[in-house]
Copies of this chain bind each other. A is one copy, B any other.
């Protein structure tokens, strides 16, 4: 007799969801690593895992918050600067019982206030702490909002393709329908509003009620930064179609070009004024995992709700209560991110040096990687304008596709597995993010250490040359 947790008996939605970032490639990479092979994990935006050092000041503050008895030690000044000590006291005073006590399920009121002040400084419009919830990483927030939106199979969510698979996986898990809209690779992964209209029309034809739209800005895996004009079109579109907009803005600090600085969906919405600015429902996400922080393991994030009615906010609060509270240290990291040091603070110069160093290096790495990919045979790659990824298109020769089919693999999975085995570079196949039929990509982060980057690109090029040699038919004769 088969048992409740036997594979055949479990929730089908659990089985349906796919999460390529930690899928077949990652599992194989982990195996190879166990066998002693050197693996370069570029499958996930995890900067510290690739050697990025944490910023010193926030770590000093959090260490003191975790060990508040140090504040009474006469030697504390030997190890910690005065501004870190002051800031630790500031955050401890916000808790009710230190870092070991559950906070309010929405997060500590004091930190939510600091987030609201940050948003207000950034956008030039008021922000209400009561509409800001802190979460264990942005993913948890996205999942909670989608859970509020999705009522069943006929509820659709517009998701960019290629997309970060958090969205597809969560929609599957919640039993909703993903409605894809395609980004235009030839237009630097721009968003064409006509595609959106088409996607909605097609979904409606299938009986799907489109209720929400996701944008990722800057883009993951595609790296593009949306223009103001594009954002306005999107907002209008959501308003016309009566959609709630989910603005995934976790890469807002990661911008590597100067023409289109980051602008939040909320700011653009407020700039538009009129009924849309008072009515369009918007939820925006941000985190300490990205930017020059890269504090992924701390799981600190927030979402801000705009034009969401109080009764719904209450329901979201209630559901957040079931898991009691987001982790408190992660909340404090978030506080430190949104309320950074100011000129004149003792640790200010060091903080600026560290953070500028990281961002400038990321900018250079984005360039090295794009150039590297574009110098490879059958590889074309848009410049990484923002975020942490490069998403080159690999033009796989027909014989490679055939070989992949014979091996029972999706062609880009086949390519990425071979790349992994040959070089130790652990990427994610484009099929994990979605791509147009017959077109293949891979995603890699731009996070390997700058000094290692040339060797990595060299190693990639060598592999790719060999692969193309093997599968490309220059002569008209097939080679074995």
Give residues in A with beta carbon < 8 Å to B.
1, 3-7, 9-12, 14-15, 17-19, 21-23, 30, 44, 46-52, 54, 56, 59-60, 62-64, 66-67, 69-70, 73, 75-76, 78-79, 95-105, 136-137, 139-140, 143, 147-151, 166, 169-170, 173, 211-212, 242-244, 279, 281, 289, 293-299, 307-309, 311-312, 315-316, 318-319, 321-330
Chain B nearest CB from A141 CB (Å) reads 10
Cross-chain contact A46 with B101 (CB below 8 angstroms): yes
Cross-chain contact B97 with A51 (CB below 8 angstroms): yes
Cross-chain contact A6 with B312 (CB below 8 angstroms): yes
Cross-chain contact A140 with B323 (CB below 8 angstroms): yes
Closest 9 CB pairs of A and B: A297-B328, A48-B97, A63-B67, A49-B97, A22-B321, A48-B100, A7-B311, A299-B327, A49-B101
Cross-chain contact A147 with B321 (CB below 8 angstroms): no
Which residue of B is nearest A3, CB measured? B281
Between-chain CB contacts (< 8 Å), 30 pairs: A3-B281, A3-B307, A4-B211, A4-B244, A5-B308, A10-B148, A11-B147, A11-B148, A11-B150, A14-B318, A18-B318, A22-B324, A47-B101, A48-B97, A48-B100, A48-B101, A50-B97, A52-B97, A60-B67, A63-B64, A79-B79, A100-B293, A101-B297, A136-B327, A137-B323, A139-B324, A140-B323, A147-B173, A166-B322, A297-B328
18 new A-B contacts, CB < 8 A, other than A14-B148, A100-B298, are: A5-B309, A10-B148, A11-B150, A14-B315, A19-B318, A19-B322, A47-B100, A50-B97, A59-B66, A59-B67, A60-B67, A63-B70, A98-B297, A136-B136, A136-B299, A136-B327, A137-B323, A299-B325
Chain B nearest CB from A432 CB (Å) reads 12
Chain B nearest CB from A76 CB (Å) reads 7
Cross-chain contact A319 with B173 (CB below 8 angstroms): yes
Cross-chain contact B1 with A298 (CB below 8 angstroms): no
Chain B nearest CB from A20 CB (Å) reads 10
**In the bound complex, how far is the Cα of B315 from the Cα of A6, in angstroms?**
11
Which residue of B is nearest A300, CB measured? B327
Cross-chain contact B3 with A279 (CB below 8 angstroms): yes
Cross-chain contact B100 with A322 (CB below 8 angstroms): no
